[in-house]
Amino acid sequence: MSLLRTMPAPASAVAALPGRLFSSFTSRLPASLRPAQPTSTSISALTTARTFSSTPSALAGPPLGFKRGAGPQGGAGKVARAKRMATERDPKVRILDKALYKLKFIPPPLRMARNRYLRHWTIHRAWLLFRRQAREQRERELMQQYQSMANACEELRLSRGPGLRTEGYLYRVAMEKKGVYRHNGIPVEYARPQTETPALVAWNHDWER
């Protein structure tokens, strides 16, 4: 009891006690330490929320006689603005407005957006995939042609004839390639001598040799 007489209980702790426990607790306290009974004024003060603004509530609202939809922000203001916009403007102003703000084609930004970048990346990867497939198909065709020529040459090398010709005669004749470049001709790659001297004519205007 001496501790209770020297240290008063906090009001929040006392208010949190249940009804019977609160009454039994306060009845044992001396009159000087008992909490004051709440009044209507204190209750209204506690329940009233504190505002964020220091302006009185009477001055914070709209003025007396104010009607929404009237004035510069209401219907009359919209009508006045429509009348001003309906008047004929200067042709120079109209041309500038059309050239600056009413473009039919707006240039894209310097940096792509996410969806535009994904579309660009998808198209680019599809184009690379198409080129790779075309390259692989061309390589397969060339490989098949080379394998066919190699098989034909091997067949000529192992065959005999015609007549009493020995084995490999047709292969040797085929490798000589006589008559392929006309009669007693040479391949076009060897038609001109490989020299480092300049030509007699600097530029062939007739595109002839």
Among residues 149, 148, 169, which one has the least CA distance to residue 158?
169
Residue 100, domain member (yes or no): no
The residue-averaged pLDDT of 24-34 equals: 64
| Lowest model confidence (mean pLDDT) among 14-23, 74-83, 85-94 | 14-23
How big is the chain by its Cα radius of gyration, in Å? 52
Contacts of 49 (CB under 8 A, 6+ apart): none
Classify 177 in phi/psi space as left (phi over 0), alpha (psi -120 to 50) or beta.
left
pTM above 0.85, yes or no: no
User: Is residue 129 situated within a structural domain?
Assistant: no
**Range(s) of the domain holding residue 184:** 137-190
The reply to whether 167 falls in a domain is yes
Tell whether 180 is covered by a domain.
yes
* Alpha-carbon distance values, 194 to 183, 188, 191, 198 (Å): 23, 12, 9, 11
Looking at the 3D structure of the chain, how many domains does it have?
2
pLDDT tens for 107-162 read 666 777 889 899 999 999 999 999 999 999 999 999 999 999 999 999 999 998 88
Mean pLDDT of 14-29: 57
How would you label 58-74 residue by residue, b for 16+ Cβ within 10 Å and e otherwise?
eeeeeeeeeeeeeeeee
- Residue 119 half-sphere exposure toward CB, CA atoms < 13 A: 5
Note whether residue 92 is domain-resident. no
Is residue 71 domain-resident?
Answer: no
d(C-alpha 190, C-alpha 206), whole Å: 22
- Within a domain: 181: yes
Mean pLDDT of the chain: 74
Which range, of 21-25, 162-166, 185-189, averages the lowest pLDDT?
Answer: 21-25
Q: Residue 22 burial by CB count (10 A; 0-12/13-18/19+): exposed, middle or buried? A: middle
Residue 161 lies in a domain: yes
